[in-house]
Structure 1
Amino acid sequence: MTELQVAILLCDVALIVVIARLTGRLARALGQPAVLGEIVAGILAGPTLFHGAIAQTLFPVDIRPQLTGLASVGLVLFMFAVGLEFDHARLRGSGRVAGATALGASVVPFALGSAFALYLVGRHPGNRLGFVLFLGVALSVTAFPVLARILTDRGMHRTTIGTVALSAAAVCDLAAWTMLAAVQAIVGGGGGTDHWLVLLVVPFAAALFLVVRPVLRWLLTRTGGEAPHLGQFAVVLACLLASAAVTQLLGLHFVFGAFLFGLAVPRRGTAKVREDLLHRTQATTALLLPVYFVVAGLNVDLSRIGTSGLLELGAIIVVAVAGKFAGTFAGARTQGVSARQSAILATLMNTRGLTELIALGVGLQIGVLDRELYSLMVVMAVVTTAMSGPLLRWLAGRENQEPVPEPLHSLPTTSN
């Protein structure tokens, strides 16, 4: 890189951080998650406005590879945090209600999305099987981190309905990432001589849980339950990056390696350590994730969408909302949850946010999405996430604009 390129890169990162902070605060003022404002800012920084003049001026083509590199590191840290926050104990404590909710919120939108993909596949040529499966997965995603923030902001995270929503979202995300890995393996298996390497992901995952996890437990419990010192954090960070690199080399996106490593971090006796790891990771992603939003936004061009594109966008949003809402609502109702509470759960599970954006990025990279459909799907992710706040306020009652947390005994609870 030349000195000028370095200077432009640093200025771009500074600009992105400032814009992310301002748009995040604006989103919060409007009752939306801060990440939604950051995503919209990333889209507006792309080629959608003024025929790409803003993007060309602020983010020159020769700087974009460096921005992409920074965004990749941010994604690794974010997906590590998602895996780290996956709480097995929560799943055991939420009973059959969470299981039925997760099943409905995964199976119904996947089936509806796959059927819808059969209608779209003629307009978006490529790997037919990969396209159908990917769209089913993409329409069944729930953004666990965004959902957790919404529940916390509304004081619902310690209620039964909040626990069920978080548990179901965690299961949905785990299923979605597993299926997405399978889709990438299918798409990558269409030619070449080294696609068999993806099969090595299975022994690699086994090694993470059977070999690396005990070593991590020994390393992280040496502090006596206190926060890890800098050396321990450096070891965890190095192993995280190595795990992401391994899955990338094996033919899967690096986000899978980061997610797997987060899942592999031991839970028993490491609550304080994991909390500190999460805090440090989130502090870094606050800088790097906005860079990812801009990189993702550079691939979104809504200026060329005509009437047919708008109709397709409307259909995508309807299918996405209907599948997620109907599946979640039906799953909760089978366990005796009231219609109102089931509707609240369905609204929460319809939140997609950043998790959807990452999944769509994987789809664009492996070639199952073209730029046009990618752009439409990003808009769908923004719209469905933005819907959650107003719908929650409406479902909670027009007299009280804040949702009323349900008492702990209000939902049926059964032990597994």
Structure 2
Amino acid sequence: MRRYRNTIFYVVLVGTLLGVMYWVIHLGTQLEAPELLRGQKTSQGAWNDFTSTLFHSLQHPLAILLAQIVTIIIAARIMGWICIKIKQPVVIGEMLAGIILGPSLLGLHFPEFSHTLFPVESLSNLQFLSQIGLILFMFIIGMELDLNVLRNKAHDAVVISHASIVIPFTLGISLAYFLYLFHPPTNVEFLSYSLFIGISMSITAFPVLARIIQERGLQKSKLGAMAITCAAADDTTAWCILAVVIAIVKAGDFASALYTIGLAVAYVLIMIKIVRPFLMRVGEVKGSKEALSKPVVAIFFIVLLLSAYATEVIGIHALFGAFMAGAIMPEGSRFRTAFIEKIEDVSTLLLLPLFFVFTGLRTQIGLLNDPQLWMITIGIILVAVIGKFAGSTLAARFVGQSWKDSLSIGALMNTRGLMELIVLNIGYDLGVLSAELFSMMVVMALVTTFMTGPSLDLINFLYRPKKNSLQEDFRDKSKFKILLSFAKSNTGISLLYLADALTLKSKKNAEITALHIEPANELHHYEVEIQELDSFREIKQVAMQLEQPIQTIFKISSDIDNEIVQTSNERNQDLLLLGVSESIYEGSLLGRFLDFTTRIVNPEKLFHTVTNAESPFMTFDRNQQINAKVNAQVGILIDKNFLKANRVVVPVVLKNDEFLGEMIQRLIQHSDAQVIVWDLNQVLKTNESFKEKLRQLEQLVPNHLTITEKELNRETWQEQDLMLISLPSWNKIVNKKVHWLPFTPSTLLMADRKP
């Protein structure tokens, strides 16, 4: 009875209270006024009432907004993934997602669905949220600018950046003259028109440029440092010019705008001379991540919002205030990183895609239905490219850069991306840019951003260094080369212990390289050096203890899997060691549903599932995709605190497991390992070649190899340090759910080298 006491109490309590509630409601209904009863609607039936309520809920502004956000995020992620695969910045995919969801594609071919998803009356909510996202984003951009770099390397960078502003600005004003002459806007003064065309030609997308430099590994090079500095100087100058342009456009003429410009100058001085010292003091006291409490964060947010409010009231746009607030934040990469982490994901993943789609809804490619309009679009693109690319290149060459670096700086500075869209939307809101010209400018922004990557590839190809291929081939073949790729330090250490076990007695004839790749969207350019030191600190300490020389490679990439494959293939590695990539979705029905939805967002994973290249819920799907593309042998370590390989068990399940003989020999040769070859399916009786290899190995190193067909008991498993098994055999035993699997030690899954 004691066991059921709580259950009985619960049932009695809930039942009694439900009865009381029913009784009170029944009494209350008798108090209703007769007029209320007469005014009640007659029911149309339970189902009809339900469908009517459901339809009304679907039309609610909040429901529409949530549906819009979900659709926008999914479209942005899919298009971003496609752009990553073709080695383009994610921002291009997000820009394209906006155009696809706008009247240029979705609205053109599915007008009813487009009107249902994006009704006109809902666009104000979308615009409001997108503006909040932009304010947070510009705040982040301001914090990403390292003013110390500008001070230390300002001379050459200022020459290049200002040349890359003045030249395209001049060409833009000249272009505005011809556009105003042959394609005049309605009720727009030429001064306002020409200034906006000029500034739109002069913008460089600092965040996109920084990502490209990181992903190409240029952050430590002279070119990368110069390009980052030029872009920072360009962004700072361009936004100051834009503030002046907005003031002139709103005032109508330069004389009237002087009052606004005077207030703007006073605002900047207050921010630099009064607000910045106060924030610096707060940063000194509360600069660590642990000390960044909610009251401190609230102070910085108040500064951000007041700054944005001040510039909006002055008349130079709230985004300039957000940018300025970010630029005066306390210096120090750790502080800025900690603060950016608090707002970046919400800004870039949730709110910023709304801006791209809102821009896409304004972009009407269908308006460019005349060959003359497309000729104007091509002319705009040519002016933008010539002004920015040629201006930056010639200025860089003038200050002493090589032709290769000068051309590369020109290509990088020609990147416009999101910053261009911000300027264009401001011009559209002010009525300076017509719908046709706005669409032309959006096309120009897409083209100039898209061409950056191919331009850099072409420049690198034209100026590629000559290689001594014979010497490199000889060096490649003389050593056993192992590449271990890790995300977390503890995984890297276990992989290093394994690599050491495979090369212990011939370290001079081995080359071990540790590779760590950071996701491009999680690292800012100013924290690359610190992150690189942190990533390899522990693994280098262990390497010193083992007296094992290692090389380290630190990379940043949007496509980590492809970067691992490319690094391994380019370096002609013999063995690629990976830590297991376990699925976060296993263990629940909801998790498996989410795993399926991620396969829809990630088409490559969906393809592998549909074609049965992998089990739908396999925990090693990423590593198997890497294995499908890499030329080297691949080893995937399931780590259970691996330290040594003195005792190893090798289950032989399939005939194709013969290639494991090489690894068995290496473990015995270098670690004096005691190896048990467990022939589960009597494979050795039918595979004479494999049997002969093991026999020869047994003669070469007697007392180190045991071959058995008997099932291993639990005590034997507990004595083992490592299980070595082929990847196909592992998949087979996992699907069979064998009872001894939980007893296994650290496991190395091997995939043979491609034929």
C-alpha distance in structure 2 between counterparts of 1:223 and 1:209, whole Å:
20
Distance change (3 Å), C-alpha of 1:346 and 1:208: same
Among candidates 71, 74, 84, match of residue 143 of structure 2: 84
What amino acid is the match of 1:354? L
User: Which residue identity does 1:33 align to in structure 2?
Assistant: P
Matched, 1:41 2:68: no
Q: Percent identity?
A: 38
Structure with higher RCO (Cα < 8 A, 6+ apart): 1
2:353, 2:461 → 1: CA distance?
35
- The change in CA–CA distance for 1:171 and 1:124 in structure 2 (over 3 A counts) is farther
SS in 1 for 2:433: coil
- Relative distance call for 1:224 and 1:387 in structure 2 (3 A) is closer
Aligned residue number for residue 408 of structure 1:
none
- Displacement after TM superposition at 1:121 (Å): 1.6
1:199 Cα deviation after fit: 3.7
Say yes or no: does 1:25 pair with 2:89: no
Q: Higher Cα Rg: structure 1 or 2?
A: 2
- The whole-number CA distance in structure 2 between the counterparts of 1:237 and 1:332 is 39
State the alpha-carbon separation in 2 of the partners of residues 348 and 133 from structure 1: 24
Evaluate the alpha carbon distance shift between residue 88 and residue 328 of structure 1 in structure 2; reply closer, same or farther with a 3 A threshold: same
Q: CA deviation at 1:175?
A: 1.5
Higher helix share: 1
- Distance (whole Å) between structure 2 residues aligned to residue 159 and residue 92 of structure 1: 19
State the shift of 1:178 in Å.
Answer: 1.1
1:276 Cα shift?
1.3
Whole-Å separation in 1 of the counterparts to 2:391 and 2:287: 44
Aligned mates of 1:361, 1:28 — CA distance in 2: 26
- Do residues 359 (structure 1) and 423 (structure 2) align? yes
Question: Does residue 124 of the first structure (1) align with residue 184 of the second (2)?
Answer: yes
CA distance in 1, matches of 2:265, 2:407: 38
Task: Look up the equivalent residue of 1:129 and give its one-letter code.
Answer: L
Give 2:358's aligned residue: 295
- What is the aligned partner in structure 2 of residue 63 from structure 1? 122
Q: Which residue of 2 aligns with 1:411?
A: none
User: Alignment partner for residue 372 of structure 2, among 302, 308, 318?
Assistant: 308
What letter corresponds to residue 353 of structure 1 in structure 2? G
Q: 2:297 is matched with which residue? A: 233
More strand, by proportion: 2
Q: Following TM superposition, by how much is the alpha carbon of 1:181 offset from its aligned partner in structure 2, in angstroms?
A: 1.0
Q: After the TM superposition, which parts of structure 1 deviate over 6 Å for at least 4 consecutive aligned residues? A: 398-401
CA shift, 1:399, in A, is 10
Residue of structure 1 aligned with 2:271, choices 205, 208, 220: 208
CA contact (8 A) 2:287 2:335 kept: no
Which of residues 160, 167, 173 in structure 2 aligns to 1:114?
173
One-letter amino acid of the structure 2 residue matched with residue 274 of structure 1: R
Task: Return the offset for 1:57.
Answer: 2.7
Q: Is the 8 A contact 1:324 1:349 kept in 2?
A: yes
- Structure 1 runs not aligned, ≥5 long: 402-416
- Structure-1-length-normalised TM-score: 0.90
Q: Give the structure 2 partner of residue 381 of structure 1.
A: 445
Aligned to 2:639: none
1:36·1:385 contact (CA, 8 Å) conserved in 2? Answer: yes
One-letter amino acid of the structure 2 residue matched with residue 340 of structure 1: K
C-alpha deviation, 1:353, in angstroms: 0.3
5+ long unaligned stretches in structure 2:
1-55, 466-755
Distance 1:207 1:366, change over 3 A: same
Cα 1:200–1:97 change in 2 (3 A) is closer
Matches within 5 A, 1:224-373: 224-227=287-290, 228-267=292-331, 270-285=332-347, 286-305=349-368, 306-373=370-437
Rounded to whole Å, the distance in 1 between the matches of 2:286 and 2:198 is 44
Deviation at 1:91, TM superposition (A): 2.0
How many residues are paired up?
396
Alpha carbons of 1:400 and 1:27: their partners in 2 closer, same or farther (altered >3 Å)?
Answer: farther
Structure 1 position 349, deviation (Å): 0.6
* Letter of the structure 2 residue corresponding to residue 161 of structure 1: L
Shift of 1:339: 1.4
Q: Distance in 2 between matches of 1:11 and 1:48?
A: 20
What is the CA deviation profile of residues 113-134 of structure 1, one whole-angstrom value per residue up to 9, with x for unaligned ones?
Answer: 1111111123233121111122
Q: Are the structure 2 counterparts of residues 224 and 86 from structure 1 closer, same or farther at C-alpha, using a change threshold of 3 Å?
A: closer
* Distance across 2 between alignment mates of 1:346 and 1:398: 15
Q: Which residue of 2 aligns with 1:105?
A: 164
Paired with 2:260 and 2:170, the residues of 1 have a C-alpha distance of 29
- Equivalent of residue 177 in structure 1, options 239, 263, 278: 239
Instruction: Describe the SS at the equivalent of 1:63.
Output: helix
- Correspondences of 1:162-173 after superposition (within 5 Å): 162-173=224-235
1:201 Cα deviation (Å)? 2.3
